Structure 1
Amino acid sequence: MNKYTVPVIIAILISVLTATAQVGNRFFPEKDLITTGIYYYPEHWNESQWERDIKKIAGMGYEFVHLAEFAWFKMEPQEGKFEFDWLDKVVGLCAKYNLKVLMCTPSAATPVWMRTNYPETFVMDGHYIRSEHGTRGLGSIVNPVYRRFVEKIVTEMARHYGHNENVIGWQLDNEPDAKPDYSPSSQEAFRQWLKKKYQTIEALNAAWGTAFWSQWYSDFDQIIIPNTSLVGWWGNNPHALLDFKRYSADAQAEFLDFEAAILRSHILKEQFVTTNYTAVSTGADPRRTNKLDFATYTAYPNGGSDNIGEQGFRLGNGKVILFAAEYYKTTGGVSGVMEIQPGPVNWGSYNPLLLPGTVRMWLYHTFAAGGKLASSYRFRQINYSAEQYHAGVIQPDGITPSEGGEEYMQFTKEIKELRKKYKPGVTMPAKLAARSTAILWNLENYWTLDRQKQTWQWDTWNYPVKFLEIAKSFGAPADVIPETADLSKYRVVIIPAYEMADSALVKKWSEYAANGGHLIITCRTATKDRMGHFWEAEWAAPISGLIGAHVKATDMLSNNGKGDILMRSAHYRWNNWADLLAPDKSTEALAVFDNQFYKGKTAVVKHKVGKGTVTYIGVDTDDAKLEQDVLRDIYTGAGATTENYPPGIYVYWRDGFYVAVNYSSDNYTMNMPGTASIIIGEKILQPGGVLVWNE
């Protein structure tokens, strides 16, 4: 980057970012922008209503129907007896009404005959109690008997529908979660995983630090899964627990790849294979899979949380789609929302009516963030069983659209109008490319941080989301990337609390900065090696040279503590986490602590590295004002302009369109150039509102 002028750099970034957006799009034509679908469960309803329902789905503007994910009992009512006639009728009705089909493997909901005849196929909890039949997601994914039955049903489905040209793709399982499993099958699988990783018991003992509290092992066969239920949360081995998390995530990924491989041996190459991770996926790791074409997510932004302002409890949490939409793109290059609520749910701490327009806003948010598909759960609100109060796009009478259904119809109609205005080959505006941002994050660092927060005030999941929100407040295009990604694509790279690192990774960061990049590193980065051990050196030793400072101590305040930081005559409050820094002579101190017994110690530093800069933010604040002001200076120094969008206002650019959504409880007037042409909405963006324009 350093050998080019800023305009040339921006031109390169525009081409790179535009090219990146095309990766993985072979299943979704660019001109379609986004494809809409709906979950339908024909097994829940009388066959006489199927055609009425499918016709209604088509009339509402949907383009595909999501089928069969929990219908194992219907497709294999008895072991080895497969029945697809009923599903053939529904697939035929979809074709009749010009609806595509997204077929699902049913492995998340096993039939009763499996639990009755093969109880070993179910997971065990931390008290070694076997799960019972009656809900979903209880199959032991490492149990060979369960795997044999999964292989059979997926094979039969693939043979039956794999060459049906009306089937556009397959969803594997449902919301894979890498569930902890303490069953005998999982115990043995865990030991085999450890043998493969460590080779020798001596290596495992060293990695797990088993000299502590006489935990030493002399053979792999002595090892059982670390169990906080029986050992106690505080006293368990953090390194063993980290490996259990890794094993569970690997097992989940391998299981999905197992299903995908079965499908791929039978289905058309035009049919995609994906799955629907939860938006907040703390166990399953999509980056561990090898055979998915891309990953999607489920999003339930509103489940009884207060959010922003008086109407926030009716508008939902914007962070849900904000983070998931970027994170899941790292598997396959594209993503979308497979499951989004169309109204109140049944599981929230309370379940309010949504502010009119909210569902449409969520749909536009997924579109704005690059989503290639948007599917809603579910078509009909069910009249019985566990999800009676979970809204559908059709009310319990089976005929009348709900408020969410009406908004979905409005969205599909408006997308069809946007398709008419789509122009291929449009490149990202230079002012946006100049702000291109990446946030480096992985689940393993979340696991180790969440295990040892040190202060209950540390918001483990939302800490990286805070920096994504800051980038979006500047109007920056921002990606959530793995450490293997090419950093040179981005003007700014943020590394929030990346606790586990190694010398190779730090070298990569150093090279990025030396070549002209702007690197922001925060507290709790590189404090441990990959196994979660502290360095036998000073705190965060691998990065002290990179940040041009030394972390001398760390402080945390009580909930009522009022830490003060001074930066350019402005004062900022903190009480979560603070690193006391000793900067080198060549390093600029940007902010200092202004109270406590260490008043005057440095809190934020900036270090020149080659052609670029490295800024270390050694404090975590609740309101993020300090972090936002530090980052704004970095963007400005990088030659980028910044916007100043308030919390809850998210603005994106994709395919030539600017899209803004409003999760706040106040009206917001969008500052638009005179060349702007409004396509949808109004300049004054109301709560739950949407604005689409081009320039």
Structure 2
Amino acid sequence: MNRLDPADARMDRLRRRLQGVAYGGDYNPEQWPAATWEEDIRLMREAGVNLVTLGVFSWGLVEPRPGVFEFGWLDEVMDLLAEAGVSVDLATPTSAPPSWLAHEHPETLPVDAEGRRIGFGSRHHYCPSSPAYRYYAARITEQLAGRYGGHPALAMWHIGNEYMGMGCHCPVSVAHFRRWLADRHGSIDDLNEAWGTAFWGQRYETFDHIGTPVSHSRLVGAPNPVQELDFTRFSDAAALDCFTAERDIVRRHTPQLPVTTNFMASFKHLDYWRWAAEEDVVSLDIYPKSWDPEGQLHSACNFDLMRSLRGGAPWMLLESATGPVVGEERNSARPAGQLRVRSLQAVARGAESVMFFQWRASRAGAERFHSAMVPHGGTRTRTWREVVSLGEDVARLAGLAGGRCDRAEVAVLWDWESWWAVEGHPDLPSHDVDHKARVMDHYRPLWGANVTVDFAGPHTDLTAYRLVIVPNLYLVDDAGAENLTAYVHDGGHLLMSYFSGIVDEHNQVRPGGHPGAFRDLLGIGIDEFNPLQPDETHGLDHAGHTGTANDWQDVIHLTGAETLATYTDGEQDGGPAATRHRFGSGTATYLGTSPDRETLRRLMLDCVTGAGVTPVMDTPESVEAVRRRGADGTDHLFLLNHAPEEVTVELAPAASKPHDLLAPGAQAYEADRLVMPPYGAAVLREGGER
């Protein structure tokens, strides 16, 4: 008998309770008089809402004074939601400590790298290492878990909110950092070796002499890059400690309920591989700009990343926007119909929910003009009509809950520690190596060709993938390098871009010359890095195609590889810009520059073809095609038109006509083509009767 692991079992209970995909958003009834709550419940029923996140910023309301708890309003709201059949994702409100905590314990307020104490007046105003903060955060969590653990509305727990991991420099954090360093390195001699403190005579005699890295503006020269990297690791760990402490409290009271926290897309300061392992389901907040022509591309990339963090398991979209998002200088309205296709895109790529911030637009506070499910104009608005219509669509997809996306044949490497190391230090050959931009450059042609992608870490088992893409892996430990090398040696296809394999886990340059850990794998040596000046470009030739080299130029000599693309001008005229090396039973392709988009697309799709990767299907440029299985194992083909124009999609011949779950009565298509309206969507259940 197969048994679900505990996280899967908790999520399975949630699916059965919701009877499908979750739909709803952050509900903040404390911003409104009680008379509005009844209207909220009525409108939630009309929109098909079955899950709301509650209490995220409520600490100062449920504990207005130290040790004085006023749960009456929250009791009433929980009861109303339970009566209406709306489940609650109850949050611990610890991301926004109350004013009394800042007043009575000012040491809980964080200190920045300039030595300035951060004030009260926004949110995230706490030091994660503070014993006082941790004590009061645990106490309010204990109160909530004890009071509502058995409440019929409670369906899952939401710990904190959008953890930042930005690091604090107060004396308590300095002491905590020293303890963390002692645990990590073991001895001060080992720390000195790892940090390379012989340079500039920085050797430490005791951990007590070490501080947190200060702002660059307060130093005469450059800081120690390993100290900075270790502090980023420490700040991530300190934030994760806060999460797991609260998680453990609620799990003790309600071991049967899933626990999550909301990630912020591809956020730099937290290693989401580590965080995902500590929760039952990955959750995402994402706010792509509605006017960004590549907004859907960035969303797809982040959706694939979230799905990958727990090995392909379904994830939850906890926050998105029905329309404008605060924070930009000009926040344009969302085009009619775009809300639907962008939301269904998340479900196509593995989401178990479509949720928004927030339910009702605020009249006061810092986000008054952030869009909501119920806008300032109420139910007479187009936004409200689209929210109700989207709720009907989500309900039609109930059978997808618990199903997974097709296993990808391509993996893209994503490693937070390498990201931390490759950006920002003044001694790097270029200060413009942008990890997210490089990933997006490599993801773009795969998405455009409807090639399904997983993300993976350097230590992930890669054997199931036909092709592995490594956009930039500046930092890699020996185990990660050996994993990639073995993957290719055993028959895998790999494409790696410049400035990879350069340093080890201590951010120390690998001996023997570049590209360090991957010299043998790639069959090349790199004599020099030549980052190009902002306006400098060079010509490229790839199989007769003329392109452009931008940003970076490796000076490569071949030690077994063959030339795949060459420079056509400048000092490196005729020299290799891209190479290919047969290694063991596999193939390693290397890009020593950042080609223009069309050249990179050609190079990457050449690797896709060579690896035997099969795209989902061929579609017009604006149409995204993704497959996701239902809970019963049946394939569903999502076709999403991201353009404001009508397009026609040619459907492959099938033994039986697919049924569009979004069409009235899930009607079958009798034609071999599908005409899609602007921002149109179809979910075709393939094979057999519905």
Length-normalised TM-score, structure 1: 0.89
Residues 169-188 of structure 1 aligned to structure 2 (within 5 Å):
169-188=156-175
Residues 367-446 of structure 1 aligned to structure 2 (within 5 Å):
367-396=347-376, 399-400=378-379, 402-419=381-398, 428=406, 436-446=409-419
SS of the equivalent of 2:577 reads strand
Q: For 2:608 and 2:300, how far apart are their aligned partners in 1? A: 25
Per-residue CA deviations over 1:571-610 (Å, capped at 9, x if unaligned) read: 111221122322234x332111111111111121222223
Q: For 1:279 and 1:425, how far apart are their aligned partners in 2? A: 22
Contact kept in structure 2, 1:295 and 1:335, CA below 8 Å: yes
Q: Does 1:291 align with 2:283?
A: no
Task: Pick the aligned partner of 2:127 from 123, 127, 140.
Answer: 140
SS of the equivalent of 1:526 reads coil
Q: Does 1:323 align with 2:302?
A: yes
User: What residue number does 2:154 align with?
Assistant: 167
Per-residue CA deviations over 1:652-691 (Å, capped at 9, x if unaligned) read: 1112221133445665433321436462489344553323
Task: Pick the aligned partner of 1:673 from 639, 652, 667.
Answer: 652
Q: Tell which deviates more after alignment, 145-154 or 51-60.
A: 51-60
Contact kept in structure 1, 2:346 and 2:354, CA below 8 Å: yes
User: What residue number does 1:486 align with?
Assistant: 461
C-alpha displacement at 1:368, in angstroms? 0.8
**Structure 1 residues 25 and 605: alpha-carbon distance in aligned structure 2, compared to 1, 3 A threshold:** farther
User: What residue number does 1:565 align with?
Assistant: 540
Q: Does 1:155 align with 2:146?
A: no
C-alpha displacement at 1:494, in angstroms? 1.2
Residues 286-685 of structure 1 aligned to structure 2 (within 5 Å):
286-289=272-275, 290-302=277-289, 307-308=292-293, 316=295, 318-327=297-306, 329-331=308-310, 333-396=313-376, 399-400=378-379, 402-419=381-398, 428=406, 436-452=409-425, 454-455=429-430, 457-585=432-560, 587-623=561-597, 625-642=598-615, 649-655=623-629, 656-664=635-643, 668-675=647-654, 677=658, 679=660, 680=662, 683-685=674-676
Q: For 1:647 and 1:553, how far apart are their aligned partners in 2? A: 39
Q: For 1:174 and 1:427, how far apart are their aligned partners in 2? A: 27
Q: For 1:669 and 1:456, how far apart are their aligned partners in 2? A: 44
**Structure 1 residues 219 and 647: alpha-carbon distance in aligned structure 2, compared to 1, 3 A threshold:** farther
Residues 183-222 of structure 1 aligned to structure 2 (within 5 Å):
183-222=170-209
Letter in 2 for 1:481: A
Letter in 1 for 2:651: M
Letter in 2 for 1:617: L
Contact kept in structure 2, 1:338 and 1:374, CA below 8 Å: yes
Q: For 1:379 and 1:427, how far apart are their aligned partners in 2? A: 29
Contact kept in structure 1, 2:324 and 2:333, CA below 8 Å: yes
**Structure 1 residues 403 and 463: alpha-carbon distance in aligned structure 2, compared to 1, 3 A threshold:** farther
Letter in 2 for 1:619: T
Q: Tell which deviates more after alignment, 576-585 or 678-687.
A: 678-687
Task: Pick the aligned partner of 1:279 from 254, 261, 265.
Answer: 265
SS of the equivalent of 1:153 reads helix
Letter in 1 for 2:143: E
Structure 2: tracts of 5 or more residues without a match:
630-634, 664-672
The RMSD of aligned alpha carbons is: 2.7
SS of the equivalent of 1:489 reads coil
**Structure 1 residues 65 and 224: alpha-carbon distance in aligned structure 2, compared to 1, 3 A threshold:** same
C-alpha displacement at 1:348, in angstroms? 1.1
Q: Does 1:266 align with 2:266?
A: no
Identical aligned residues as a percent: 26
Q: For 1:499 and 1:427, how far apart are their aligned partners in 2? A: 30
User: What residue number does 1:124 align with?
Assistant: 111
Q: For 1:467 and 1:288, how far apart are their aligned partners in 2? A: 24
Q: For 1:424 and 1:122, how far apart are their aligned partners in 2? A: 42
C-alpha displacement at 1:79, in angstroms? 0.7
**Structure 1 residues 425 and 406: alpha-carbon distance in aligned structure 2, compared to 1, 3 A threshold:** closer
C-alpha displacement at 1:490, in angstroms? 1.2
Q: For 1:169 and 1:427, how far apart are their aligned partners in 2? A: 24
Contact kept in structure 2, 1:393 and 1:401, CA below 8 Å: no
Per-residue CA deviations over 1:292-349 (Å, capped at 9, x if unaligned) read: 112211011017xx632xxx7xxx4530342244245414733221110111122112
User: What residue number does 1:14 align with?
Assistant: none
Contact kept in structure 1, 2:10 and 2:258, CA below 8 Å: no
C-alpha displacement at 1:511, in angstroms? 1.9
Q: For 1:490 and 1:317, how far apart are their aligned partners in 2? A: 25
Letter in 1 for 2:396: E
Q: For 1:535 and 1:423, how far apart are their aligned partners in 2? A: 47
SS of the equivalent of 2:511 reads coil
User: What residue number does 1:100 align with?
Assistant: 87
Letter in 2 for 1:450: E
Q: For 1:291 and 1:213, how far apart are their aligned partners in 2? A: 40
Contact kept in structure 2, 1:329 and 1:335, CA below 8 Å: no
Per-residue CA deviations over 1:415-465 (Å, capped at 9, x if unaligned) read: 323346x6998995xxxx6x6111111111111111246445533222112
Q: For 1:626 and 1:637, how far apart are their aligned partners in 2? A: 16
Q: For 2:461 and 2:501, how far apart are their aligned partners in 1? A: 20
**Structure 1 residues 25 and 49: alpha-carbon distance in aligned structure 2, compared to 1, 3 A threshold:** closer
Per-residue CA deviations over 1:219-241 (Å, capped at 9, x if unaligned) read: 21111111125435972222111
SS of the equivalent of 2:563 reads strand
Contact kept in structure 2, 1:440 and 1:494, CA below 8 Å: yes
Q: For 2:545 and 2:200, how far apart are their aligned partners in 1? A: 49
Letter in 2 for 1:26: D
Contact kept in structure 2, 1:555 and 1:578, CA below 8 Å: yes
**Structure 1 residues 590 and 323: alpha-carbon distance in aligned structure 2, compared to 1, 3 A threshold:** same
C-alpha displacement at 1:489, in angstroms? 1.8
Contact kept in structure 2, 1:277 and 1:295, CA below 8 Å: yes
Q: Does 1:89 align with 2:72?
A: no
C-alpha displacement at 1:364, in angstroms? 0.7
SS of the equivalent of 1:115 reads helix
Q: For 1:394 and 1:215, how far apart are their aligned partners in 2? A: 58
Per-residue CA deviations over 1:599-637 (Å, capped at 9, x if unaligned) read: 1111212222233221112221342x2232122222222
Per-residue CA deviations over 1:454-485 (Å, capped at 9, x if unaligned) read: 44553322211222222222222211112232
**Structure 1 residues 661 and 83: alpha-carbon distance in aligned structure 2, compared to 1, 3 A threshold:** same
Contact kept in structure 1, 2:307 and 2:349, CA below 8 Å: no
SS of the equivalent of 1:488 reads coil
Contact kept in structure 2, 1:159 and 1:267, CA below 8 Å: no
Letter in 2 for 1:352: S
User: What residue number does 1:691 align with?
Assistant: 682
User: What residue number does 1:3 align with?
Assistant: none
User: What residue number does 2:46 align with?
Assistant: 59
SS of the equivalent of 1:373 reads strand
Contact kept in structure 2, 1:297 and 1:328, CA below 8 Å: no
Contact kept in structure 2, 1:523 and 1:619, CA below 8 Å: yes
Contact kept in structure 1, 2:348 and 2:405, CA below 8 Å: no
**Structure 1 residues 619 and 685: alpha-carbon distance in aligned structure 2, compared to 1, 3 A threshold:** farther
Letter in 1 for 2:120: H
SS of the equivalent of 1:372 reads strand
C-alpha displacement at 1:115, in angstroms? 0.9
**Structure 1 residues 483 and 423: alpha-carbon distance in aligned structure 2, compared to 1, 3 A threshold:** closer
Contact kept in structure 2, 1:378 and 1:393, CA below 8 Å: yes
C-alpha displacement at 1:259, in angstroms? 0.9
C-alpha displacement at 1:123, in angstroms? 0.7
Q: Tell which deviates more after alignment, 382-391 or 556-565.
A: 556-565
